[in-house]
Structure 1
Amino acid sequence: MDDVDVVIIGAGFAGLGMATQLARRGRESFVVLERADGVGGTWRDNTYPGIACDIPAHLYSFSFRPPADWSARFPRGAEIRGYLEQIVVDERLADRIELNRELRDAVWDEPDARWVITAAAPDGRSATFRARTLVLAVGRLSEARIPDIDGLDTFPGQVVHTAGWDDAVAVAGARVGVVGTGASAVQLIPHLAEVAEDLVVFCRTAPYVVPRADRDYTDDERAAMLDPAVAAEVRDQLLVEADAAFRQRLGLHPDIDEIRARARDHLHGQVADAGLREQLTPDYEIGCKRILLSDDFYPALQRPNVVFEPSALTSVTESKATAHSGHTYDLDVLVMATGFEAARPPAASRITGRAGHRLSEHWSAGMTSYASTVVSGFPNMFVLDGPNAALGHNSAIYMIETQLDYVVGALEYMADNAVATLAVSAAAEEAYTREIDTRSESTVWLTGCDSWYVDPDSGRLTLLWPGTAASFRERNGTFDPAPYEPHPDEPGTGTPEEGEE
């Protein structure tokens, strides 16, 4: 059994960011447990053709890392993975990361004020760690969602999810079906359309699409942006520009009218056929679902070998795929661009806090937290990129950085004040949840449509922060002990009621 100060679960952006901060502090011993055979998280798992980010590169990276030499405005998937792998090298994290170690369970030991974490390797060998602090950095895009399609398990061809793409999948010259038209699909479909004999796109809900306007940086631009001062200025400007789009999510005029018109003009400019254009026109308010960026999605749908099916795939019988419309298609390959289990992270069922209470039980009516980072009943545990910590209009990395500042502040507080157990009060979490609900009421996410941002059972907005990135940092970027339970070794701790202020 290994004893460390901090165990981090996951080696994606959040996990490596946390590891970097701890390594630079040099105050806590730590280990990163990663279930896969490499680092990178989402950007390790998603390797489908066309994979790229829809946030500008200089904003979709850590401010505390040296500027990367990005080749274009929007980074390609391989570039982002390379950026994360370089963090491991530059920050000397390799010896702190245990690969092929999947979390089996983490149990809070109240008498000892420690987390007991068990992780297993593919060969069945397990390792146990005891840690004062547990950091969950498993992300929201780590568990692929496969819809319940009748007969899918009997399909004789190949079935692949975009998050488990394999270049060996025989799409060239094949009859391919793509299920979904979200962010991954609009990147992949143009590439499949070029190589497949026939391509069928099953679309349950038409997306809003605006021009991507990507471009390669010139050599002079790349050289200039390697200057940290220039990179920081570019990052700050991009952040402000992106945050301005939150007014659209509030349904404010003229902001929402302008982005709706931009999407409409893009559709009308690229799709001449009135019938297809009608099928591609969304029937919900813009911004409720993620607004997609693409210059080649609409043109791909108009290729002679592509069929746009404006309804969901409902069943499969042998090689025949049947849509809700009743149309059937003979297929060799099915590609699931169907997203992730984001609202109910499976890892929550493996976390046991006080009194044997599982995190999945605590979140049975939807994810809740305090400061989008800590959860009542789970002492000394921090959740990165979890409840209400994402954005629909700006950079997730900026949000993660804000949470890292909060966690480091908490660790500093515990060390400086000899605090063994840091437990946020139930009252503070309840008050924060009410604050989130109030902030969410007027947003398009609760008034415009159903989306994966909203918990399917409670109807609460549980994934997104209902505000700007700047407001998230102002609200949650600095650790404050007031909302935490008092304990004997720190009599000055504020009361739960103070945490509600």
Structure 2
Amino acid sequence: MNDHIYDAVIVGAGFGGLGTAAQFARSGRRNFLVLEREADLGGVWRDNTYPGAACDTQSVIYCYSHFPHLTVERMYAGRDELLGYLRALADEYALHDHILLNSGLKSARWDDCAQLWWLRDDHGRTYLARVFVPALGQLGTPKVPSFPGLKEFSGVAFHSARWRHDIALAGKRVASVGAAASAVQYVPEIAAEAAHLVVFQRSANYILPRNQQVFTAQERARHQDDPAVFQELRERIHAEREAGFARTRLGTGEQETGVREALKHLRDQVANPALRRKLTPDHEFGCKRILRSDDYYPALNRPNVTLETSGIEGFTETGIVTHHGKVHDVDVVVFGTGFASQTFVGDIEITGRNGRTLADRWDGVPEAYLGMLVDGFPNLFLDYGPNTNLNHNSVVTMLECQQQFIAEATEQVLSGACGPVEAAAEEVRDFNAGLQAELSRSAFSSDCSSWYKNADGRVVNNWSGTVDEYHRAVAAFATTLSGEALAS
């Protein structure tokens, strides 16, 4: 057993974990450890290597304010640039020596007497920490539905987040099971080389133009020579995206404008009326993730591409059978079927006060105070926890706010200025009651199938307001930071 006591142990070396580590470093704290289950840092930008992988949020706001991405080449940055940014972030704050790779966390247990977290990794090694920060994100564990007959399929099948680069798609019959955020990026790439591509769409999505902007060499040089220019662009786009939050509210003129823009984009790019009908959403704008693409619709116009809207009945040895009995023989299947987005802590068994596990505390309804604190789990801070996802702005701005709070709260804990930090049960209950009341007026809660909602239709992923409102709420909460105010 490692009997060294860390100030904090962070789990996950993606945007959340590295950002938290950077905040600790910025505050002068170096006695922390980052446990990463994979062989490299990067999180989703390490894992998602599919063709066309990129961010659908503008790069100037998809970075930390304390480490702006001044060298970025495109407004919507690709996977390689974003992974490079995270590596540069780790370099900037000398984080590499604090990261333990190939070390997934199996369990975490709070010791009330010692006021410590006991952590055990998948190698059986034990770590002690004053503060525990799960930063596994919401989109890290691929999900593939249990289709009947899938095991009998003789072709190649893989999830888009586990792309098989050893499989050449040229001349192959390929199926994409899924037509959402990842698929709208890889489908155009596959369509250009496959003999035939069939795209299985469960429901149509609202897609807005991407209007990619490539920064010139002169613009990139100016960003680096005068970061204030980059900052001005960042602030303008942040304000525009914040104003766009109104589009996610039911019955607003802004929501109607969003619908018009998306349907115009569809009309402009798809001339075939039958295909256009298949691609026309039948749910509230904002209920699902709003997508951005300039080349997805044109890919579906290609003669070698079929859009299949009948549901999948199951797999055969040679392909896929729809509910209507149509058989699609394929050589390769790509699952763009999303992620286990509502675990928030992966498969880590977390035990808090009185032997109660986090899984038991949540019981299928993940909730936290401001997405970070759960009653009964002292000095545990969730990064990108329940109800902190967005559909209108950069989630990195949410993460940075959380990380600043986590660093400040950790300072309070380590200085002895307060006891263990947690939220009282009634605070978590009242906060989430208000949150859900707000969300009931949001498109997120409307009638559609969405990864934002649990099996009972409760929105457990998304925040109910703007980023600025979240920042103000966290700032107000931080002023109450004392053992008496927060201990349950």
If the length of structure 1 is used for normalisation, what is the TM-score?
Answer: 0.94
* Matching residue of 1:118: 120
CA contact 1:41–1:142 (8 Å) conserved in 2: yes
- Residues 439 and 459 in structure 2, CA contact (< 8 A), matched pair in contact too: yes
Instruction: List per-residue Cα deviations over 1:235-262 (Å, max 9, x = no partner).
Output: 1111110011111111243211111011
> Post-superposition shift, 1:496?
7.4
Structure 1 residue 51, shift from structure 2 partner = 0.3
Residue matched to 1:56: 58
- AA aligned to 2:371 is S
Structure 1 counterpart of 2:81, which letter? E
Query: Which residue does the alignment assign to 1:427?
Result: 426
Q: CA deviation at 1:347?
A: 2.2
Paired residues of 1:313 and 1:321 also in contact (CA < 8 A): yes
| Secondary structure in 1 matching 2:418 | coil
TM superposition shift of 1:481: 6.6
> How many angstroms apart in 2 are the aligned matches of 1:314 and 1:172?
27
Post-superposition shift, 1:325?
A: 2.9
**Separation (CA, whole Å) in 2 of partners of 1:323 and 1:217:** 45
Give the Cα–Cα distance (whole angstroms) in 1 for the partners of residues 487 and 9 of structure 2.
Answer: 27
Q: How far 1:418 moved relative to its partner? A: 4.0
Are 1:191 and 2:189 matched, yes or no? Answer: yes
Distance 1:495 1:360 in 2: 22
- Structure with the bigger RCO (C-alpha within 8 Å, sep 6+) is 2
Instruction: Supply the RMSD in Å over aligned alpha carbons.
Output: 1.7
SS of match in other structure, 1:494 = helix
Shift of 1:482: 4.1
Q: Residue in 2 aligned with 1:100?
A: 102
Distance apart, 1:365 and its partner CA: 3.3
Matched, 1:32 2:34: yes
SS at match of 1:390: coil
Aligned-pair CA distance for 1:432: 0.8
Task: Quote the offset at 1:173 in angstroms.
Answer: 1.1
What are the residue-to-residue correspondences of 1:67-82 with 2, within 5 Å?
67-82=69-84
Shift of 1:401: 0.5
Is the 2:369–2:423 Cα contact (8 Å) retained in structure 1? yes
**8 A contact 2:27–2:407 mirrored in 1:** no
CA contact (8 A) 2:7 2:414 kept: no
Q: Secondary structure at the match of 1:287?
A: coil
1:478 Cα offset (Å): 5.3
Do the aligned residues in 1 keep the contact of 2:108 with 2:348 (CA within 8 Å)? no
* Distance (Å, rounded) in 1 between the aligned partners of 2:92 and 2:478: 32
Structure 1 Cα separation of the partners of residues 182 and 486 of structure 2 = 46
Q: Which amino acid aligns with 1:20?
A: A
* Structure-1 residue corresponding to 2:278: 279
CA distance in 2, matches of 1:88, 1:126: 27
Structure 1 equivalent of residue 329 of structure 2:
330
Q: Which digits, 9 at most, give the CA deviation of each residue in 1:387-420, with x for residues without a partner?
A: 1111011101000001012112212222344434
Q: Residue 211 of structure 1 corresponds to which residue in structure 2?
A: 209
Deviation at 1:232, TM superposition (A): 1.7
Q: TM-score, normalised on structure 2? A: 0.96
**1:344, distance to aligned residue in structure 2 (A):** 2.8
Instruction: Tell me which amino acid in the other structure corresponds to 2:325.
Output: G
Amino acid at match of 1:368: E
Farther off after superposition, 293-302 or 43-52: 293-302
Q: Tell me which residue corresponds to 1:489.
A: none
SS at the partner of 2:46?
A: helix
Does the Cα contact within 8 Å between 1:409 and 1:479 map onto a contact in 2? no
Aligned residue for 1:244?
A: 243
- 1:162-196 CA distances to partner (integer Å, 9 max, x unpaired)? 11112112322111000011110000000000111
Q: Count how many residue pairs are aligned between Structure 1 and Structure 2.
A: 485
Could you say which residue in structure 2 is the equivalent of 1:148? 146
Separation in 2 of the partners of 1:495 and 1:278? Answer: 53
Aligned to 1:292: 291
Percent identity (aligned): 38
* Equivalent in the alignment of 1:490: none
Are the counterparts in 2 of residues 483 and 496 from structure 1 also a CA contact under 8 Å? no
Residue in structure 2 matched with residue 307 of structure 1 by the alignment: 306
Counterpart-to-counterpart distance in 1, 2:408 and 2:201:
45
Q: CA, structure 1 residues 483+370, in 2 after alignment: closer, same or farther (shift >3 Å)? A: farther
Counterpart mapping for 1:241-390 below 5 A? 241-345=240-344, 347=346, 349-390=348-389
Q: Distance in 2 between matches of 1:423 and 1:473?
A: 19
Matched with 1:404 is: 403
Which blocks of at least 5 consecutive residues in structure 2 are unaligned?
none
Question: 5+ unaligned residues in a row in structure 1: which ranges?
Answer: 487-492
Distance 1:483 1:364, change over 3 A: farther
